[in-house]
Amino acid sequence: MLSRVKEEKKHSAQSAALVIAEKRGEILAKEVFGSNLVLDCKKARGSCVKPWSLLVEKTPTGGMVRIAGLEPARVAPLPPQSSVSANSTICANPHFPLEIQSFSPTTNNQKPPVLTPVLTGTKKRGGGKRFQRVTKGLYRFKRTGTLYAVFKVDGRTRWKCLETDDPILARERMAEEIKTASRVDWRQAATVTVRQLVKMYKQNPMGLAISTLKIRNQLLQVFERTWEFGLGIKASAVKPIMLKSWLATRRQEQSLKASGLNNYIRMLRGLFHLAIELRAVVESPAEAIKLLTEESPERLTPTWKQALSIVGAAKRKTSKDLLSAMLLLGLGQAELANLSGEHLDFERRQITIRRQKTQRVFTIPMYPQSFPLLRRLRKEGRIVPGRLVFQCVRPREAISLACRRLGYPKFSPRSFRRAFIIRALEKGVDARCVAAWQGHRDATLVLRVYGHLIQPRHEQEMAKRLQG
């Protein structure tokens, strides 16, 4: 009787040990194979997996051994450092019962188990950190020695290669990078797209002239139709190489000259300048594209005598008056089309003009050569406040017909303004004064276009000062 009780207690102890071993085996298996381990034969994310009961089997002595080659199927792959067999994991765990550690030995075709630091709990041996701290916000890449700046902008950590190994130069560049990065609103950089820039550009926030805006809108239509990278791309993601590639395609397909391609470049510069104002980018990608050198256009300009002959050859009186005003006042057809009676002040002998290209208002004197024309128009009652002086402004046809009668080349209406400028410069009028009469802010354009007329006379006058 006593021996029977002892056998029952021994059997109960073995059963309890077996239950504990199975429980520990389940926990350890979950640690090895992750949460994807399923302990029954049901489907798991579309894959049938083996239950834990098939992973080990009981021995005649009451122990447990692993069945060779059986592991639960994984639904998701494990990290590389954890991809080891259950055999190596169980062997490496000192808390696991010895009965379960009695696995079958490795065969000739099996490699010995590899214990990783993640499973064994040992420290990882290896190369250590790639960056070495030099000073606050400055780190050196050990392999190359290059210094990197590390700083925060709007709560985001930024790493920037400074392209130097000199700490002094690196500090200067780091200060510049921090200053530059502070000019960007990262919310705008993450949301502003090229499509939004195009839409904003069409609203003309730059205040371009109507004629210039009309040309730019035509170029924008081509851009919207042919931009291969998509209008939904972020403005901050556009690189100069993208714009150069698009421009190269436009030049090849449209056979553009330098002046035509420069119009596209100016349009792109204006487009991405809006991104700078929105703080979506620090630098415009279009600024890296240089304007091409344009060939000097052949501008046919009549002499003063030829211009007077063209005016005299005009048949209609209205056309003759219009051509006379263009030549004697040095104004274009757009300025004369908006000239009203209140703009002429005979007491002060000056005329108020609005330049249509820039919408800039300026005044010019009533030149002595224009007195006879202006007095006659006033006497005829054509200079009245609130009324346009010239009702119909179409000089091109009149000039073309007059040139055909006289056998002259086909001059343009703009050539009359150039004839006025050349005569003023030949008479010794200062270039800055001529530029002001044309509505320019400075004499840069006049000197660049008509400098060859000023240079010889100016050199002679300077040489005379050396006499005596």
DSSP state of 61: T
Q: Identify the band that residue 24 occupies on the pLDDT scale cut at 50, 70 and 90.
A: low
Q: Tell me which DSSP letter residue 34 carries.
A: G
Q: Which fold has domain 131-182?
A: 1.20.5
158 — pLDDT class (breaks 50, 70, 90) = confident
pLDDT tens, residue by residue, 282-334: 889 999 899 998 877 677 899 999 999 999 999 888 899 999 999 999 998 88
Structure confidence at residue 464 (pLDDT): 79
**Predicted pLDDT at 76:** 42
Band (264; pLDDT cuts 50, 70, 90): very high
| Secondary element (H or E) of residue 16 | helix 2-33
The percent of the chain in helix, strand and coil, each rounded to the nearest 5, is 50, 10, 40
Mean residue pLDDT of the chain comes to 78
User: Residues 185, 279: contact at Cβ < 8 Å?
Assistant: yes
pLDDT at 99 over 60: no
- The answer to whether domain 304-464 has CATH 1.10.443.10 is yes
Burial class of residue 20 (count of CB atoms within 10 Å of its CB; 0-12, 13-18, 19+): exposed
Residue 37 CB neighbours (<10 A): 22
Q: Higher confidence at residue 40 or residue 185?
A: 185
pLDDT tens-digit profile of 335-360? 898 899 999 999 999 999 988 767 78
Q: Is the pLDDT of residue 38 over 80?
A: no
Q: In whole angstroms, give the CA distance from residue 49 to residue 135.
A: 54
- CATH placement of domain 190-288: 1.10.150.130
Average pLDDT over residues 210-215: 84
Of residues 88 and 209, more confidently modeled: 209
| 367, pLDDT greater than 90 | yes
Residues pairing with 340 in the sheet: 388
User: Which residues share a beta bridge with 352?
Assistant: 363
pLDDT at 343: 93
- Give residue-wise pLDDT tens across range 393-438: 788 999 999 999 999 999 999 999 999 999 998 888 988 999 999 9
Give the pTM. Answer: 0.50
Q: How confident is the model at residue 213 (pLDDT cuts 50, 70, 90)?
A: confident
Identical fold between 131-182 and 190-288: no
Q: Where are the domains of the chain?
A: 12-120, 131-182, 190-288, 304-464
Residue 103 or residue 202, greater confidence: 202
Q: Which one of 145-149, 391-395, 449-453 scores highest in mean pLDDT?
A: 145-149
